[in-house]
Structure 1
């Protein structure tokens, strides 16, 4: 049986000045279609796609120049947004009628065509189908024989650029499983610690330098906010994007190194993130840093890089992994001497606290296998390599 890999590539569209105006008008009318459908659905309490189609399709066709495929696309996206909002409302969470100022246009196979080898794309617009030049980086040439399955168009107002995000997929032969497991613990002093049950691999990804850089960003952001001038506000936006790219690049690098430690067919065991910020006890200064770091993104990067190599990624409950002795299994809060040191009160076994936790994570998974419980990956699909120009520096992919 083959495994199917999926990747999303972020491409820069190169429209002429006339085409740019056409795309902007298409996005504007798509926004109207989306917002109008959401308003109708919200006011009439209609969440069913077929019923929403009956209520909105002909009105949108009359008031816009959108082709039928894009009218239907806007309705489908609006239906999804409405269902998501209602789901939040039923859970008692704050929810209101979905609206968007700059929606991404979702294309289906009837409304777009992409030729990566020719660096061209054909998209449905308010002026009919039009061909556009697309910038395809050399790194993306490896996907020329992959099948493109979907696309969406997004306009970045800050960069004043159009991005075409295409999803492509390809089937590969399954990799033979091997008896190789590593556990990954996420934390404060060390962003990630990787180890095997036998201790042959003990890899630390120190967070000290990263935390120092984050503190410099915070101090600069605080000074700019206190000024409040238009120039300072523009600088704040630039700074925010720069910091975001820095963190994404770090997560890419760490994920790449972790995956490189595991052979094809092996298993990477990650901790379920729910409650991670409650589990990690920190002072006020470090609390700000731990709440700002995107651990979920790091796990996503690990997962899709591992998938490409034929490595499985699984998740386990990480409760008590910091209090449990990885040698004898004794659990006690007093086993954790401080942020860095672990000494078992039962067997006197001592080692780095994060390393102990990472070994417990992988041992928890092995124990779940014996009980017949398996925690699989999330099945995400994210870009590979220099895939998100707005988020990734590209140097570490």
Structure 2
């Protein structure tokens, strides 16, 4: 049995001025098609694709110049949004009619063609099919023989650039599982600490330098915001992108090193991040740091890099892992002396606090396996060089 890997390549379109206006008009009409379909579906309380097609297709074709494939695409995207919104409303949760001011156009194999080797794409627009030049980084050329599937066209209003996110896939032979487990603890002083239950691996990713750089960015941003001049605002815009690239690059580097520690077929155990900012009690000095660093992005990078190597990624509840002794299992808030030191009140076992937490994470997973509570699972497919299809720095490692 083969496993299917997917990657999303973020390419920058290079349209002429005339082509730029065509793309903007296409996005504007696609926005109308999406919002109109959502409005009709919300009023009719339905997300059934066939019903919405009958209710909206001919009206959208009459009021726009969109080709039929893009009208259908807008309806499919609207159907997905309506399904989520209406289900939330039926459950009594807060929900409203979906609406977008700058939607991404979803293309399929019938509405676009890509030639990565010659850095060119053909897209359906309001003025028919048009060819556009794209910038293909050398790193992405390893995917030339992968099968291209769907794509999303997104216009970044701030950067004034068009990004085409192309999804491609390829099948690889399954990797035989091996009895090798590592736990990863995410924290403040150390961005990540990796360990095995037997202590043969104890890897620290110190966040001191990273935090110092982030503090410099914060101080500079604060000074620029206080000035409020046009020049300062332009500088803030540049600074924002630079800081984003820095953070993404660091997460890529850490993820790559973590995955390199694990053999093919092994398991990386991560902590569930849901509610982590509410669970962790930090002082005012550390509050901005824990709310600013993108720990979810780091986990996503670990997942897709691990998947390419045949490594499984699983998640466990991380509650009490910082208070629990990894040797005897005694849980007490007083076990953790401070941010870095852990001393068990029951057996006097002492260890670095983050290292102790990482061992507890992997031991919690092994214990749940014995109880039959969880399966091993596998990593998920994620974009190359970024965390989300609509936003990335393009950095690769």
TM-score (norm 1): 0.94
Secondary structure, in 3 states, of the residue corresponding to 2:376? coil
Superimposed CA distance per residue, residues 51-105 of structure 1 (whole angstroms, 9 cap, x where no aligned partner): 2222211111001110111001111111222223334445555433222222110
2:10–2:165 Cα contact (<8 Å) kept: yes
Residue 328 of structure 1 deviates from its aligned partner by 1.1
| 1:89 matched residue in structure 2 | 89
Note the aligned Cα RMSD (angstroms).
2.2
- Tell me which moved more, 230-239 or 283-292: 230-239
- C-alpha separation in 1, matches of 2:358 and 2:351: 12
Matches within 5 A, 1:311-326: 311-326=311-326
Residue 345 of structure 1 deviates from its aligned partner by 1.1
Residue 393 of structure 1 deviates from its aligned partner by 5.7
- C-alpha separation in 1, matches of 2:269 and 2:309: 15
1:183–1:269 Cα contact (<8 Å) kept: yes
1:182–1:267 Cα contact (<8 Å) kept: yes
Secondary structure, in 3 states, of the residue corresponding to 2:380? coil
Matches within 5 A, 1:53-202: 53-90=53-90, 93-202=93-202
- Tell me which moved more, 226-235 or 170-179: 226-235
Stretches of structure 1 lacking an aligned partner (at least 5 in a row): none
Q: How many residues align?
A: 397
- Tell me which moved more, 386-395 or 218-227: 386-395
Residue 374 of structure 1 deviates from its aligned partner by 2.3
1:181–1:267 Cα contact (<8 Å) kept: yes
Superimposed CA distance per residue, residues 279-334 of structure 1 (whole angstroms, 9 cap, x where no aligned partner): 32210121111011111111000000000111111111111111111111111111
Secondary structure, in 3 states, of the residue corresponding to 1:102? coil
- C-alpha separation in 2, matches of 1:135 and 1:394: 12
TM-score (norm 2): 0.94
2:314–2:379 Cα contact (<8 Å) kept: no
Residue 262 of structure 1 deviates from its aligned partner by 0.8
Residue 378 of structure 1 deviates from its aligned partner by 7.4
Superimposed CA distance per residue, residues 132-179 of structure 1 (whole angstroms, 9 cap, x where no aligned partner): 222222211111111011111112223322211110110111112221
- Tell me which moved more, 372-381 or 164-173: 372-381
Is the alpha carbon distance of 1:69 and 1:39 closer, same or farther for their aligned partners in structure 2, counting shifts above 3 Å? Answer: same
- C-alpha separation in 2, matches of 1:74 and 1:83: 14
Stretches of structure 2 lacking an aligned partner (at least 5 in a row): none
- C-alpha separation in 2, matches of 1:153 and 1:393: 16
Secondary structure, in 3 states, of the residue corresponding to 2:288? helix
Secondary structure, in 3 states, of the residue corresponding to 1:149? strand
Residue 34 of structure 1 deviates from its aligned partner by 1.1
Matches within 5 A, 1:1-397: 1-90=1-90, 93-376=93-376, 379-385=379-385, 397=397
Superimposed CA distance per residue, residues 189-214 of structure 1 (whole angstroms, 9 cap, x where no aligned partner): 11110001111111111112222222
